[in-house]
Amino acid sequence: MWHVRWLSRDAGTTAGVPKKIKTEFRTHIGTRSGRYPENLDEKLNGIWWILKTGSMWRALPERYGKWNSLWRCYRRWCESGLWSWVLERIEESHQSYRLALMVDASHVKAHQDATRSPLDPHAQKLGKTKGGRNTKLSACVNLAGRAVKIVLVPGNEHDSKSFNESLPHDIQHCFVLADKGYDTDAIRSDLDEKGAFTVIPPKSNRKRAIPYDKDVGKLRRKVENFFCRIKRYRRVNTRYDQLPITYMGFVILSAIADYATLGFVHAA
């Protein structure tokens, strides 16, 4: 059966993307202090398999080593901020695409296994909605549609509350695009103070007309396309992790993989 063969494939042979991730990973991890990890390829392949299939850690094939050892290694990397650090280094090498930044948020359904933690749901970034517990990814992408910054917020939190947190620190002379949900006076004044160009469609109930360039605003689709691409990974499309840091590790890894395909798509 085709799906059995697909699940059993080595992640290192999946469309060549993991090989590029390993190259980037070795390039940047070599500049960090500490002991170099043993069997790096084996560990990355195992994590990649979990990311693609969305399987439980206990279902990890034996060729990737002991599942518990890999889980502890993955969690240590998440707690150290390694995945975010690698993404920042890759994004810094694509500064020319920061001419425009698109911001949006997307809901992610939380599996029942992700809601069993005795900790405060808000601290776990889990919101309560009509459909049950869910979480939300707020992302900022560049002109190429690749991630600049991603944050995790509760699913019942309004998009505009995480707007500033989703943006990078320096946005001077950048076009910032978002939908009507971000049309607030506070956001517009904050962007003006930072020297950015606001491209947000005004709400229909505004008393004062605000200019809006529809042609530039069409680029907002790039952040929506970004969510579509990373949600092809089952571990991202549904949240199975109780801890926000471990779930965000998979999200950022999928964003790193998205950068690996940048050479095969048009940047504009």
Query: Taking 70 as the threshold, does the pLDDT of residue 124 lie above it?
Result: yes
The pLDDT value recorded for residue 133 is 85
Instruction: Kindly state the average pLDDT of the residues 162-187.
Output: 93
The answer to whether 208 and 228 are in contact (CB under 8 A) is no
Instruction: Kindly state the average pLDDT of the residues 8-31.
Output: 50
The answer to whether 155 and 127 are in contact (CB under 8 A) is yes
pLDDT band of residue 132 (cuts 50, 70, 90) is: confident
pLDDT band of residue 42 (cuts 50, 70, 90) is: confident
User: 256: which 2 tokens?
Assistant: 């790193």
Instruction: Kindly state the average pLDDT of the residues 156-165.
Output: 91
What is the percent of the chain with per-residue pLDDT over 90, rounded to a whole number? 58
pLDDT band of residue 120 (cuts 50, 70, 90) is: confident
Instruction: Kindly state the average pLDDT of the residues 204-233.
Output: 92
Domains and CATH numbers, the chain: 2-80 (no CATH), 98-241 (3.30.420)
Instruction: Kindly state the average pLDDT of the residues 95-111.
Output: 93
Taken as a whole, the chain contains a residue count of: 268
Task: Using the CB atoms, write b or e for 51-76: b if 16+ within 10 Å.
Answer: bbbebeeeebeeebbebeebbebbee
pLDDT band of residue 28 (cuts 50, 70, 90) is: low
**Strand ranges inside the chain, DSSP E:** 100-110, 127-129, 132-141, 147-154, 175-177, 197-199, 238-239
The pLDDT value recorded for residue 142 is 94
pLDDT band of residue 14 (cuts 50, 70, 90) is: very low
Average pLDDT of the chain? 84
pLDDT tens column, 201-217: 999 888 888 889 899 99
Parallel, antiparallel, or unpaired: how do β-strands 132-141 and 147-154 relate?
antiparallel
Query: Taking 80 as the threshold, does the pLDDT of residue 167 lie above it?
Result: yes
Specify whether the backbone of 28 is left (phi greater than 0), alpha (psi in -120 to 50) or beta.
alpha
pLDDT band of residue 12 (cuts 50, 70, 90) is: very low
The pLDDT value recorded for residue 265 is 43
The C-alpha R_g of the chain, in whole angstroms, comes to: 19
DSSP assignments along 8-46, one per residue: HS-GGGSTTHHHHHHHHHHHHHTTS-SPPPTTHHHHHHH
Instruction: Kindly state the average pLDDT of the residues 127-156.
Output: 91
The pLDDT value recorded for residue 162 is 92
User: 130: which 2 tokens?
Assistant: 């009509």
pLDDT band of residue 34 (cuts 50, 70, 90) is: low
Residues 6+ apart with CB under 8 A from 100: 142, 143, 174, 175, 176, 177, 216, 219
Instruction: Kindly state the average pLDDT of the residues 216-235.
Output: 94
CB atoms closer than 10 angstroms to residue 119: 10
